[in-house]
Amino acid sequence: MMELFGDPATWLPFAFAALMGAAILTYVILDGFDLGVGLLFPFATPAERDRMVASIGPFWDANETWLVLAIGILLVAFPVAHGVILTALYLPVAVLLVGLIARGVAFEFRVKAPTRHRGAWNRAFYGGSLAASLAQGFMLGLYVTGLQLGWANIAFAALTAVCLTVGFSFIGAVWLIGKTEGDLQLKAIHWARRGIWGMIAGIGAVSAATPLVSGRIWDRWFSFPEVVLLSPLPVISVLLVVLLWRILQRMPFENDRWAWAPFSISTVLFVMAFGGLAYSFYPYVVPEQITIYEAAAAPESLIIILVGALFVLPIIIGYSILAYTVFRGKATELSYY
């Protein structure tokens, strides 16, 4: 069956690149909102914090599993690239991991440890979310500028670190608009109005920087007829940002109508920005150095994984939907019984 679609050494790496892209995108959106909720912690009252945690409690663990899947695919499908990327990003990866550890355990400890320690665990939850978001943004910046360590690259990475962090706090805020009501929802709307600029700046900065990284990427966007065919992407993005901004200005609506609109539109924006990035870098997995075809593992190993993935992924999506359905609606108190 491997020859069914032509040369397996061609289509298998492509299939895995697509899978990995889907996993990274899913991770960024899903963990984006729960990291964002952590980032908004300092601005909330203690009672609101409990409600905010309740809005992500049943989901965060599964959300982080998408990161493990994305790194797993990079590891198993593109082993050479995995080593190159992660040794280049050694220190930001360590910051990311310590951040994820801190917020993951703070989640549990803040309600199980003695009450007098709760403040400290809340700070760990916030600090961990902040460290993880900054590290992810920093890695994004280093990656799109080709994993080189010059001052310009580091400065750009620092910029994307701040932008992605504000972007995550924005997507956390629009998640809370959907999941909460009353005063907390009003606060979330306020947070979202503030945070939207971070998202715009982040997407704008990365979009502006990537074509400058190499002539190849420049040509992919700005030669004819690509420049015409691709023009809907930025145009639609701008229209969506305007729509999002107007909705946020007028919120809340009567009867909680449109409560999920900001989250949905933001998701579409993230998807489009990510699609643009993927288009820019294809076929490279290490920018301008190693293509997905050069980095791919042996076809007979990849096919084994692909068969399993195609069988299991629909099931995973199925029970993820079940979990989100069980805990749909406004966040209420979380209890074990």
Partner 1 sequence: MDPLILSRIQFAANISFHILFPTITIALGWVLLFFKLRFNRSGEEKWMDAYRFWVKVFALSFALGVVSGIVMSFQFGTNWPGFMEVVGNVAGPLLAYEILTAFFLEAAFLGIMLFGFRRVPGWLHTTATALVAIGTTLSAFWILVLNSWMHTPAGYELRDGIVHATDWFAIVFNPSMPYRLVHMLLASGLTVAFLIAGFSALRWLWGDRGAEVRATLRFGAWMGALLIPLQILAGDMHGLNTLEHQPAKVAAMEGNWETQSNVPLVLFALPDEAARENRFEIAVPGMASFILTHDFAGEVPGLNDFVAEDGTRLHPPVAPVFFAFRLMVGIGMAMLALSWSALWLMRKKRGGVEGLPKPWIYAFVGMAFSGWVATLAGWYVTEIGRQPWLVSGVLTTADALGPISGGMVASTLAAYLAVYAFLLAAYLGTLTYMARRAARHDGTSPQIPKPDAGVRVLQPAE
93-132 binders of partner 1 (CB under 8 A): 93-94, 97-98, 100-102, 104-105, 107-114
**Shortest distance, position 180 Cβ to partner 1, whole Å:** 11
Q: Which of 61, 183, 219, 226 binds partner 1 (CB under 8 A)?
A: 61
Q: Which of 12, 15, 71, 135 binds partner 1 (CB under 8 A)?
A: 71
Nearer to partner 1, 271 or 304 (CB): 304
Tokens (6 digits) for 312: 């299991």
For the chain, the C-alpha Rg in angstroms (whole number) is 21
10 Å CB burial of residue 190 (0-12, 13-18, 19+) is middle
Q: Which of 8, 21, 35, 82 binds partner 1 (CB under 8 A)?
A: 82
Q: State which of positions 154-173 bind partner 1 (CB under 8 A).
A: none
Q: State which of positions 271-330 bind partner 1 (CB under 8 A).
A: 297-298, 300-301, 304-305, 308-309, 312-313, 316, 319-320, 322-323, 326-327
Strand pairing category for 284-286 and 290-291: antiparallel
Nearer to partner 1, 80 or 230 (CB): 80
186 sits near partner 1 (criterion: CB under 8 A): no
58 sits near partner 1 (criterion: CB under 8 A): yes
Q: Which of 2, 22, 62, 158 binds partner 1 (CB under 8 A)?
A: 62
64 sits near partner 1 (criterion: CB under 8 A): yes
Nearer to partner 1, 181 or 245 (CB): 181
Binding mask 219-258 for partner 1 (x = CB under 8 A): ----------------------------------------
**Shortest distance, position 236 Cβ to partner 1, whole Å:** 32
The span from the CA of 137 to the CA of 107, in Å, is 23
In Å, the largest CA–CA distance within the chain is 65
334 sits near partner 1 (criterion: CB under 8 A): yes
Residue 161: closest CA among 144, 191, 141, 143: 141
Q: Which residues of 222-255 are buried (b: 16+ CB within 10 A; e: fewer)?
A: eeeeeeeeeeebeeebeeebeebbebbeebbeee
27 sits near partner 1 (criterion: CB under 8 A): no
DSSP labels, 10-77: HHHHHHHHHHHHHHHHHHHHHHHHHHHHHHTGGGS-HHHHHHHHHHHTTTHHHHHHHHHHHHHHHHHH
Q: State which of positions 28-47 bind partner 1 (CB under 8 A).
A: 47
Kind plus residue range of the DSSP H or E element containing 191: helix 182-213
The span from the CA of 91 to the CA of 76, in Å, is 22
Residue 161: closest CA among 188, 194, 138, 195: 138
50 sits near partner 1 (criterion: CB under 8 A): yes
**Residue position matching structure tokens 């549990």:** 108
The stretch among 26-34, 75-83, 201-209, 244-252 that binds partner 1 (CB under 8 A) is 75-83
The stretch among 36-44, 74-82, 205-213, 224-232 that binds partner 1 (CB under 8 A) is 74-82
